[in-house]
Amino acid sequence: MSAPLIDEPPRGNLAGFRRYFKQDIVSGLLVFLIALPLCLGISLACGYPPIAGIFTAIIGAIVTTFISNSELTIKGPAAGLIVIAIGCIEDFGGDGLIGGWTDADLSAYKAALAVGVAAAILQILFGIFRAGILGEFFPISAVHGMLAAIGIIIVIKQFPVALGVTGASGGPLEMLRQFPDYVIQANPAIATIGVVSLLIMFCWPLAGRRVAILKKVPSPMVVLLVAIPMGMGFDLLHEHAYSLANHEYQLGEQYLVKMPDRAFGMFDDITLPDFSALSQFKAWKWAMMFFIIGSLESLLSAKAIDLLDPWKRKTNMDRDIVAVGVANLCAASIGGLPMISEIVRSKANIDNGARTRFADFWHGIFLLCCVALIPTVLHRIPLAALAAMLVYTGYRLAHPAEFVHVWRIGKEQLAIFVTTMFMVLATDLLIGVAAGILLKMIIHVSNGVPLGSLFKPYLEVEEVDEQTSQIIARQSAVFSNWIPFKRQIEDIGLVQRRNLIVDLSDAKLVDHSVMEKLVELERDFEQEGLSFQVRGLDFLKPLADNPHAARKRSLPRMRRVTVTASESLEDTLIEHFTACGACGYTSIPCRGAGRQGLGSGLTKQDQVRLELVVSAAVCESMLDMLRREFVDRHSITICVENVEVLRADDFLPDDRAPAEAVALD
């Protein structure tokens, strides 16, 4: 449940620390319960030691609290960076804990830390030079396709771990083909822990919908409460074998999380980067991937949490990237994973009633105390339980509903989404995202966008009155020319404090990314007490029946319904049509007869011909009404045809948005 609004937005300053201490520390504790197992699981999936994820979350919580002004985001390791991290480790010759922690794994780990330092410095420079707006360049469908691919890769990589299969490695598609073998090779005891953990992850949220009190207990913590006793029951602390179905299986500490064996032993695991790795070209390839994908994910998460913030506080994205960069620099310097603003834990932070950024601080303090004081308890966590949590996380990233959502926005968006996803699976993240961007540009050009306007918006600024300006967009408004377009909007509106009208009537194409970003800008203007209007969309035809669908310059399609009936029914029909949503009609008196009239010798009857132009939805409502109320009781003729109109708004009620009513066949 979101926190109730109070008179003044809470701020993460000294006064806010004291005033909201109770709410923030309670939320920090609850987020800690979610973060602890996820930090361990993500770290292992990345090929780093388990403690690396804890280092990251602690440093992220403490350092960014005092640099960023993002009040409700939780900083820490995230599933979205697993693919990059394990790719970097493998490229430097390591494989994480597969087959045990060897000198090669340690060398690759140190090289990855150096890469993390380089990426962090790039992030800091990125924020200092106010380049945070570059996150606006990437098309939304390509980003979602990338995240879906990351989710699928996480599921593929963690599936054998959840079954207790050791030594599973290879590319995502190669490992996917080996799934039947993993099932055959599964260690039954470990697989039992993994399957039970996975069932809890999927079923606990469903149970929370029925029993409210269960919703307050995070499912990862429930998994630990069940999995740790199961691991103790299988005596995983001691090496031994057991037989089942004439097959012998091994059990032991290799199936448990490796943690320090004494209090404060975590500080013995501090590892320094090997900066000599930066002399190799491949190190900079991974640094760029950490930098680009990490920064993009962090920006998107921070923006999403701003929209969920009950007090609508706005994060300074450049400042937030600097904060994440500084924290990443500190984390990588002592052995930690890269971090971002994490969306799931941040949403939990809001739901738990956090007020200021000190909730993030307290979640880090709880992590520090837990790992420093009771590491032997954490050592009892089965790896299969952590793998099950990550399988669930990957499923959420690649949820089937995401495919349906993109399909509803437009077929071309689904093509970009799927292309990006498959290219990431077949190659890597950068090539996959580049493929999605290239396909989107090809689609734009095929839809009539001039090559010259792909990267440069053609804008005209007019003064409407003393308080209002108008920006007229020519040729196109698409993701690739959005950055200068947005700068112009913000400079005139938010900087100069003027109301703004954006006229898109002369654009040949307005793509999905721009449609969504215009909605975000409307909220920004509203928060500043300014007016922001988008005009001219009714001159553009949406490519799907969705408010955020791309719009192409052409005449929008509507339905023309022609009804011929007895003159006495005119007023009744008009009343019913209006109730269905029609907002205008043409009435033409006429004389004639239908088949029944001709058969009975009545060749001239007084009739009325009603013509209405309506949306597809209203048309269907009218036809249903006519079938129920008139067709069987009266002599009536109904014709429906598709027509194109100059302005769809002329045929829609004032209280309905064009994008909600204009439909395509």
Separation between Cα atoms, residue 154 and residue 175, nearest integer Å: 11
Same domain membership, residue 437 and residue 456: no
Kindly report which listed range (119-123, 204-208, 385-389) carries the lowest average pLDDT score: 204-208
Residue 594 above 80 pLDDT?
no
Q: Percent of the chain scored above 70 by pLDDT?
A: 96
> Could you tell me if 571 and 591 lie in one domain?
yes
The model scores a pTM over 0.85: no
Number of residues assigned to the chain: 665
Query: Cα separation of 346 and 368, whole Å?
Result: 19
Decide if 87 is inside a domain: yes
To the nearest 10°, report the CA torsion of 242, 248, 250, 255.
-90
Q: Stretch 602-612: mean pLDDT, rounded?
A: 84
End-to-end CA distance of the chain: 40
- Render pLDDT for 489-504 as a digit per residue (tens, 0 to 9): 999 999 999 999 999 9
Identify the domain containing residue 442 by its residue range. Answer: 407-449
pLDDT higher than threshold 80 for residue 291: yes
Pairing status of strand 499-503 against strand 532-535 = parallel
Q: Are the C-beta atoms of residues 320 and 111 closer than 8 Å to each other?
A: no
506, 522, 552: which is the final residue of a domain?
552
CA distance 375 to 622: 68
In a domain, 2, yes or no: no
Judge if 428 and 369 occupy the same domain.
Answer: no
Identify whether residues 358 and 437 lie together within a single domain: no
CA angle 386, 150, 295 (to 5 degrees): 100
521 neighbors 491 (Cβ within 8 angstroms): no
How many other C-beta atoms lie within 10 A of the C-beta of residue 313? Answer: 18
Of 384, 419, 449, the one marking the end of a domain is 449
As a whole number, mean pLDDT of residues 337-342 equals 94
The residue-averaged pLDDT of 221-226 equals 95
Decide: helix, strand or coil at residue 461.
Answer: strand
In terms of domains, do 415 and 363 share one? Answer: no
CA distance 297 to 143: 9
Domain finish residue from 552, 573, 597 = 552
Q: Examine the domain organization and report whether 484 and 527 are in the same domain.
A: yes
Average pLDDT over the chain, rounded to whole? 90
Q: Which two tokens stand for residue 576?
A: 């019913």
The residue-averaged pLDDT of 435-447 equals 94
Same-domain check for residues 99 and 211? yes
> Is a pLDDT exceeding 90 seen at residue 632?
no
Distance (Å, whole) CA 521 – CA 141: 19
pLDDT digits (tens, 9 = 90+) for 351-361: 999 999 999 99
Sheet of 636-644: strand order equals 586-592, 605-614, 557-566, 636-644
- pLDDT of 662 over the 60 cut: no
Q: Are residues 317 and 412 in the same domain?
A: no
- Sequence-distant (≥ 6) Cβ neighbours of residue 455 within 8 angstroms: 480, 481
Q: In the structure, what pLDDT confidence band is assigned to residue 389 with cuts at 50, 70 and 90?
A: very high
The per-residue pLDDT for 661 is 35
Q: Report the distance separating Cα 195 and Cα 388, nearest Å.
A: 7
Q: What is the pLDDT of residue 171?
A: 87
53, part of any domain:
yes
d(C-alpha 229, C-alpha 239), whole Å? 17
Residue 259 phi/psi, 5° resolution?
A: -135, 165
What residue type is assigned to position 530 of the chain? Answer: L
Q: Which CATH number do you get for residue 483?
A: 3.30.750.24
Structural domain count, the chain: 4
- Assign 648 a pLDDT band (cuts: 50, 70, 90): confident
Q: What backbone phi and psi angles, to 5 degrees, belong to 264?
A: 60, 15
149 plus 246 within the same structural domain: yes
The whole-number pLDDT of residue 6 equals 52
Is residue 60 one of the residues assigned to a domain?
A: yes
CATH number for the domain spanning 614: value is 3.30.70.120
Domain assignment of residue 7, yes or no: no
CB-based contact 301:73 (threshold 8 Å)? yes
Residue 7: the pLDDT is 57
Q: Are residues 393 and 442 in the same domain?
A: no
Residue 626 counted as domain residue: yes
With respect to residue 4, please indicate whether it lies within any of the assigned structural domains. no
Q: pLDDT of 401-420, one tens digit each?
A: 999 999 999 999 999 999 99
Task: Report phi then psi at 532, rounded to 5.
Answer: -135, 115
Q: Is residue 10 part of a domain?
A: no
Mean pLDDT value across residues 181-209 = 95
What pLDDT, in 10s, does the model give residues 239-253? 999 999 889 999 999
* Angle between helix 512-527 and helix 482-490 axes, rounded to 10 deg: 20
Nearest alpha-carbon partner for 46 in 75, 84, 20 = 84
Whether residue 121 is found in the same domain as residue 58: yes
Same domain, residue pair 289 and 270: yes
Return the pLDDT at 265: 87
